[in-house]
Amino acid sequence: MSLFLIVALPFLGALLPGLMNSAGRQAVGGVTFTVSLAAFIGLLTNLPAILAGEVVQTGFNWFPQLGLNVTLMLDGLGFFFALLILGIGMLIIVYGRHYLAREDNMGEFFTYLLLFQGAMVGIVLSDNILLLLIFWELTSLSSFLLIGYWKHLEAGRQGARMALTVTGMGGLAMIGGMLILGNIAGSYDLSVILQNREAIQADPLYVPALLLILIGCFTKSAQFPFHFWLPHAMAAPTPVSAYLHSATMVKAGIFLMARMWPVLSGTPEWFYVVTTAGLITMVLGAVIALFKHDLKALLAFSTVSHLGLITMLLGTGTAFGAMVAVFHILNHATFKAALFMSAGIVDHETKTRDIRILGGLRHLMPITFVIATLGALSMAGIPLLNGFLSKEMMLKEMEKTYLFGPEWLVPALVTFGSLMSAAYCFRLIGHTFLGKKRDPESYPAKPHDPGPGLWLPPAILIVLVVAIGVAPFLAAPFVKLVTASVIGSVAEVPDYTIKIWHGVNTPLIMSIIAIVGGLIVLALFKPLLAVWDKTPRPEAKSIFDDIIAALLMWARWAIHPLHNGAFTRYAMIATIAILAAGYHAWTTGTVGEAVRAVQPIGWVEVAGWVMLAAATVGLASLHHNRLLALILIGIVGLMVSVGFVYLSAPDLAMTQITVEVVTIILLLLALNFLPNVTPEESPLWKRIRDVSVAAVGGLAAMALSYHYLLRDAVVAPISEFHLANSYKGGGGTNVVNVILVDFRGFDTYAEIIVLGIAALLIYALTETLLSGPVRARLLNRVPDKPLSGTQHPMMMVVLTRVMMPVVLMVGFYIFLRGHNEPGGGFIAGLVVSIGVVMQYMASGFAWAEDRQRFPYHGIIGAGVLIAGLTGIGSWFVGKPFMTTDFTYVRIPPFQEFELATALLFDLGVFLAVLGAVMLSLESFSRLARRAHIKDSDEPMDIDPSRDQAVPNTNPEGV
């Protein structure tokens, strides 16, 4: 199966759970499982190539100028992680289907889960680091949604915010590091970067790139000092904890360190930073885990500890350390996901995760007891389970690792970490499942083993735990295959036999010390807990909260004086900054000699300029009178249109004049609800300041334009390209329209989407006004001047109805001619909008609404959909999105004419513009029409104490 399809399947499948939510929980879980199974099978189709040592690659150039290529690569390392993500993902889906309560929205949950799954698969299969960064940030966003899935829990919302903040911060740092790395290697493709070890490590920017990348890895994989976010993410549902925080998300940082190992490892900087962070995280996480009373919190800090162990192994920079890290990633994923699911079963059945309340559950939940015990013993490093094998190999690697001190320091610390790890594993088993048999009624809920839907997924993982532990030769070839991908060479893979017994050696002695010491610590747990509780220690969450509060306070102090809501201040700051930058460029640069003479100016141009300047000055000085300001705005727009005509830009002139007509009508409707005159906003000195800045800015712009028009451009203007390729590439002689629907069609597509969103926001705003206390004010509104007795003059009614067919014909003509003559979908949409607006003005809202056949929301949606589908159509012929095509046809008896796909795109623009204008008009009209508001015949008053509309029981004032 194509690598693109493997990555795309979870994203495409994420659409299905929400759509099938009404079909029932079984259907939602089934379709989600099927999507993951399809991707899993697709991954396995590439297994023969991976076993043969091949690297499967595919992709295409997306933005080659930026180095952003959509290239995917599947080697042993990528296959290994994708196998974990999809394989454990399927088990989590089955588990989650039976774990979630009936009131939980299962469609929403599995939608988030598939989005996360797709992002993780994208990370491990990306061959371009910029593409990898996109997937990296998607994991942060989707995990935020999963951690905060239970929105009613404050702990869940806070944990989601903390995870997003920490991992998002690390992601920003990693972006910088990756950009530096790609710049050093001369490519952003991983397959190229991994071949440039010497050049990268010799570059002076190696250390900054390394530190930035490691910050991203450490935050994602919860390494010290960023370890604190992971336990707080345990407020998420247990399927999320089992998936994100044991097998996938927290492994993303580990994966990236393993992926970058060939080019970043082997230097003192890598060794000291990575090994030290991993060692501290391993020991610290193990110590904290021992004293946690919440099952998931204990497992969370144990995850932190084991992630530190893997990081420490990668930090050694040796091939054997890399092989042990790969092996422990496999082992940890199996026993930790099983343990999290077991903890979820205990919580699901007993309604508590507090170890102090639990105990004796082996009698009531024997299946769960066996699964959890085997998982915990494996995590403790007990023989005949897979955790023992990788722990022994870890001790062997760290036996001769020297770091910041005497030779015994690192071996002693890892032994101590293993001892504490064994202690919390024994505590999990002893304090949760062992002990005397108790009355089931003594628990918050009566415990019992659940159905196979909950215990079978972790049981499958425990089978792997035992199978690998008893027969390590089953996993050894695959571990060595993945190790070869990590270190970049098959020849350098250590010739080490993974087996249970290596004789009596130092690692075995260290392991025995850890296990026996763990039992002793468990026996002394109560006095140790008393000491722990009395020992003052920093609380990471409190420190994080204090840092966030300090940053917010500083941000408010820095931003509020500038960002105070006053547009004049924003405009002034921007204008001054632009003037300063322009002045610096002008004084430090060079200006060539003028090559053109000033053109003679006629009295017509002078008159037009005087009218434009007079209207602009009048608008600035008389803006407090809103109606007069609106009239002056119309004059300014009219003069700009005349200027476009004078400068031979009929398309712009037509657009400007139609926009002016529509906006003036809509603004008149809006002003109908505002006072005629606004108060004085600014004192005199501020107005003098603003006028001075505006005058300087205007004079600077005029001077720049004057100098530019007398000189040739340094580079050829883009207009020459458009003029040369308009007909040849776009099939149209109207260059402006071809630019809009072809050369920059994506911009136009985004603009009509924004236009539609603006109209929908106006509609939503009016809906809010009509459903609140503002409704009473609208009902009681009294015009400041007497209204005309005739609301709909007959002459205007007849005239507009006669003109409507003419307007439609003109709009249709403008629409069709747009590709070769002035016109197009945007102008046609505005022209037809004016015709429809005239019907509302002449005959009233009720008359027009009764004859409305299509909702304006639907017209907007249809326009955006048609434009989007037109752009997508180019994919089917192997061309980029929004690529247009054209041909000439002849249908007798007509002469030959052109057919272009841009016509369909223009149709989408036409509908979106028409729908947006009419929806805005409808929204304002609904505010203006009192009869539309379904309310009592009596006027309404505002109750100041409740801010609600109440009937006025004395409308006549008697």
Q: Would you tell me how many other CB atoms lie within 10 Å of the CB of residue 463? A: 13
pLDDT 10s digits, 117-169: 999 999 999 999 999 999 999 999 998 999 888 888 888 888 888 888 898 89
Does residue 300 have a pLDDT over 80?
yes
pLDDT 10s digits, 893-919: 767 777 788 888 889 999 999 999 888
> Which tokens sit at 550?
């300090």
- Cα gap 329→390, rounded to integer Å: 9
Segments making up each domain of the chain, as ranges: 733-783+790-958
Q: What's the pLDDT at 290?
A: 92
Closest to 310 measured CA to CA, from 417, 466, 197 = 417
Dump the DSSP string for 324-339: HHHHHHHHHHHHHHHH
Confidence of residue 339 (pLDDT cuts 50, 70, 90): very high
Confidence of residue 37 (pLDDT cuts 50, 70, 90): very high
Please state the separation of Cα 75 from the chain's center in Å: 28
C-beta of residue 178 within 8 angstroms of C-beta of residue 169: no
- Cα gap 469→388, rounded to integer Å: 7
pLDDT 10s digits, 749-798: 899 999 899 888 888 887 777 766 666 665 555 655 655 555 667 887 88
Most confidently modeled range among 54-63, 223-232, 322-331: 322-331
Question: What are φ and ψ of residue 72, in 5° steps?
Answer: -120, 150
- Cα gap 172→166, rounded to integer Å: 10
Does residue 95 have a pLDDT over 50?
yes
Q: Which residue type sits at 444?
A: P
Closest to 911 measured CA to CA, from 749, 739, 746, 766 = 749
pLDDT 10s digits, 416-472: 999 999 999 999 999 999 888 788 788 888 888 888 989 999 999 999 999 999 999
Q: What's the pLDDT at 580?
A: 93
- Cα gap 490→487, rounded to integer Å: 8
> Which tokens sit at 470?
């008893």
pTM: 0.72
Dump the DSSP string for 21-84: GGG-HHHHHHHHHHHHHHHHHHHHTTHHHHHTT--EEEEEEEETTTTEEEEEEE-HHHHHHHHH
Q: Which residue type sits at 106?
A: M
Dump the DSSP string for 476-534: HHHHHHHHHHHHT-STTS------S---S-HHHHHHHHHHHHHHHHHHTHHHHHHHHHH
Q: What's the pLDDT at 782?
A: 60
581: Cβ–Cβ under 8 A, 6 or more apart, which residues?
Answer: none
Q: What's the pLDDT at 791?
A: 65
CA 433, 434, 435, 440 torsion: positive or negative? positive
Q: Is 233 helix (H, G, I), strand (E, B) or coil?
A: helix
Q: Which residue type sits at 252?
A: A
Does residue 488 have a pLDDT over 90?
no
Does residue 207 have a pLDDT over 90?
yes
Does residue 947 have a pLDDT over 50?
no
Please tell me whether the peptide bond between 450 and the residue prior to it is cis, using omega within 30 degrees of 0: no
pLDDT 10s digits, 541-560: 788 888 888 988 888 888 87
Q: What's the pLDDT at 439?
A: 80
- Cα gap 615→395, rounded to integer Å: 83
* H or E element that contains 569: helix 567-588
Closest to 829 measured CA to CA, from 801, 799, 808, 847 = 808
Confidence of residue 929 (pLDDT cuts 50, 70, 90): low
* H or E element that contains 719: helix 718-730
The three-point CA angle 950-955-958 to 5° equals 125
Average pLDDT, the chain: 85
